[in-house]
């Protein structure tokens, strides 16, 4: 088995080697100045403090980050793990482009950990931080590490560092890397009710999938999540001020239903407009109807259509919390 070894560092006698023949990241312990890591902001290698070896990565201020592009297999579970000091965000991301209704590039999150750590047996100051995640599709993904002060940089007075960052397939994780049990997951098997499935649903791409003909007009802050979706391979995360919209014609006098599925009763506003006037709004509150899929809930309302084009908007007010939404539907209930 190929390993990286070291004799440097104050804890060199008790640090285990890093098995490299199953490990994906280049330069996992930041020993080499030249590597595939890309640094932005004030992120730099340092010999001031390290968990393993001669160097670690230091994040000097908010937004300092490191990225490495890796090629990963599909239908596979992985673990990303780092030893950290201070508060950082870890994520696995990918960008995709859509060209309808307008050209746009968006970010998809496949795994995410914001400062959730647990103790390290060999150190009183370094912590473990990890993400267990599943990928459906093979391809290139961005491994991201970023300092996050949580609005209070004074809490990071001890410095923010990362070291010994590794990425393994779930079945190849060494027993001493992170928590004892790897979380295996896969795509959610939820199927929309027959009455709102795509052959009856007037929305294009109702579950916000990664398609070149995306269907939704997006405005404001948002991203996509591929680690907690209800249906398909991803869902939409709307941040305060974020909006998604589609429009199409309806038959005057017919009764339709507008529904969306939201995560953990989050504050999604659902609204219908026509000719610049609001026809009906379902505000942030419920009722929220459980659907037997963890924290996912359904909210909906029925309405009578006018003649012509209606605009269907889902959004999060600028004063509210973020909201994760998946699978929206408009269906004709007059049939």
Question: Does 205 lie in the same domain as 308?
Answer: yes
Asked which of 172, 207, 232 is the last residue of a domain, the reply is 172
Can you give the chain as a three-state secondary structure string? CCEECCCCCCCCCCCCCEECCCECCCCCCCCCCCCCCEEECCEEEECCCCCCCCCEEEECCCCCEEEEEEEECCCEEEEEEEEEECCEEEEEEEEEEECECCCEEEEEEEEEEECCEEEECCEEEEEEEEEEEEECCCEEEEEEEEECCCCCHHHHCCCCEEEEEEEEEHHHCCCCCCCCCCCCCCCCCCCCCHHHCCCCCCCCCCCCCCCCECCCEEECCEEEECCCCCCCCCEEEECCCCEEEEEEEECCCCEEEEEEEEECCCCCEEEEEECCEEEEEECCCCCCEECCCCCEEEEEEEEECCCEEEEEEEECCCCCCCEEEEEEEEEECCC
Residue 239: count other Cβ atoms within 10 Å of its Cβ: 15
Question: Does 198 lie in the same domain as 159?
Answer: no
CATH number of the domain enclosing 311:
2.60.120.260
Question: Does 160 lie in the same domain as 35?
Answer: yes
Question: Does 26 lie in the same domain as 168?
Answer: yes
How many whole angstroms separate alpha carbon 72 and alpha carbon 78? 9
What pLDDT is attached to residue 19? 77
185 domain residue, yes or no:
no
Count of structural domains within the chain: 2
Report which of residues 96 and 284 the model is more confident about: 284
Question: Does 211 lie in the same domain as 136?
Answer: no
Q: Which tens digit of pLDDT belongs to each residue from 153-170?
A: 777 878 899 999 999 999
Q: Which tens digit of pLDDT belongs to each residue from 254-274?
A: 999 999 999 999 999 999 999
81 domain residue, yes or no:
yes
Q: Which tens digit of pLDDT belongs to each residue from 213-222?
A: 788 999 999 9
The confidence band for 23, taking pLDDT boundaries of 50, 70 and 90, is very high
Question: Does 157 lie in the same domain as 209?
Answer: no
What pLDDT is attached to residue 15? 62
183 domain residue, yes or no:
no
Task: Give me the percent of the chain exceeding a pLDDT of 90.
Answer: 71
Report the pLDDT averaged over residues 138-155.
Answer: 88
Asked which of 140, 172, 204 is the last residue of a domain, the reply is 172
How many whole angstroms separate alpha carbon 245 and alpha carbon 125? 47
Asked which of 139, 172, 205 is the last residue of a domain, the reply is 172
Question: Does 157 lie in the same domain as 14?
Answer: yes
Q: Which two tokens stand for residue 255?
A: 């009764």
What pLDDT is attached to residue 188? 67
Q: Which tens digit of pLDDT belongs to each residue from 101-111?
A: 667 777 899 99
Question: Does 108 lie in the same domain as 144?
Answer: yes
Dihedral sign (CA 32, 21, 65, 67): positive
Question: Does 8 lie in the same domain as 113?
Answer: yes
Q: Which tens digit of pLDDT belongs to each residue from 26-73?
A: 999 999 999 999 999 999 999 999 998 999 999 998 889 999 999 999
**8 A C-beta contact, residue 131 and residue 84:** no
What pLDDT is attached to residue 155? 77
Residue 97 has pLDDT above 50, yes or no: yes
Question: Does 130 lie in the same domain as 213?
Answer: no
Report the pLDDT averaged over residues 179-192.
Answer: 82
The confidence band for 9, taking pLDDT boundaries of 50, 70 and 90, is very low
Question: Does 223 lie in the same domain as 102?
Answer: no
166 domain residue, yes or no:
yes
250 domain residue, yes or no:
yes
The confidence band for 185, taking pLDDT boundaries of 50, 70 and 90, is confident
179 domain residue, yes or no:
no
Q: Which two tokens stand for residue 275?
A: 């000719």
Question: Does 307 lie in the same domain as 247?
Answer: yes
How many whole angstroms separate alpha carbon 26 and alpha carbon 61? 24
What pLDDT is attached to residue 11? 41
Query: For residue 69, what are the domain limits?
Result: 3-172
Which residue from 76, 232, 87 is spatially nearest to 152, judged by alpha carbons? Answer: 87
228 domain residue, yes or no:
yes
22 domain residue, yes or no:
yes
């Amino acid at each position: 088995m190929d390993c990286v070894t070291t004799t440097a560092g104050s804890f060199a006698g008790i640090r285990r080697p890093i098995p490299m023949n199953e490990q994906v990241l280049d330069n996992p312990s930041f020993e080499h100045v030249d590597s595939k890591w890309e640094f932005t902001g004030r992120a730099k290698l340092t010999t001031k403090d390290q968990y393993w070896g001669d160097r670690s990565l230091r994040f000097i201020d908010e937004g300092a980050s490191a990225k490495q592009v890796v090629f990963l297999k599909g239908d596979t579970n992985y673990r990303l793990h780092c030893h950290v000091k201070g508060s950082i965000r870890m994520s696995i991301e990918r960008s995709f482009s859509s060209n309808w209704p307008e050209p746009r590039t968006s970010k998809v999150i496949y795994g995410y950990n914001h400062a959730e750590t647990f103790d390290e047996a060999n150190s009183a100051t370094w912590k473990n931080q990890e993400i267990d995640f599943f990928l459906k599709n093979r391809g290139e993904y961005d491994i991201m590490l970023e300092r996050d002060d949580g609005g209070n940089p004074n809490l990071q007075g001890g410095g923010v560092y990362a070291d010994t960052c590794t990425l393994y397939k779930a079945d190849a994780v060494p027993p001493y890397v992170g928590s004892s049990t790897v979380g295996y997951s896969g795509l959610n098997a939820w199927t929309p009710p027959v009455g709102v499935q795509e052959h009856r649903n007037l929305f294009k791409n109702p579950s916000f999938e990664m398609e070149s003909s995306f269907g939704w007009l997006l405005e404001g802050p948002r991203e996509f999540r591929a680690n907690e979706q209800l249906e398909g391979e991803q869902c939409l995360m709307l941040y305060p001020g974020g909006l998604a919209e589609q429009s199409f014609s309806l038959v005057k006098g017919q009764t339709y239903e507008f529904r969306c599925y939201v995560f953990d009763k989050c504050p999604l506003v659902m609204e219908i407009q026509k000719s610049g006037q609001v026809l009906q709004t379902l505000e942030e509150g419920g009722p929220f109807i459980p659907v037997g899929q963890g924290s996912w809930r359904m909210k909906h309302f029925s309405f009578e259509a006018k003649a012509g084009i209606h605009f269907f908007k889902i959004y999060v007010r600028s004063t509210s919390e973020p909201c994760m939404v998946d699978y929206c539907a408009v269906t004709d209930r007059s049939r």
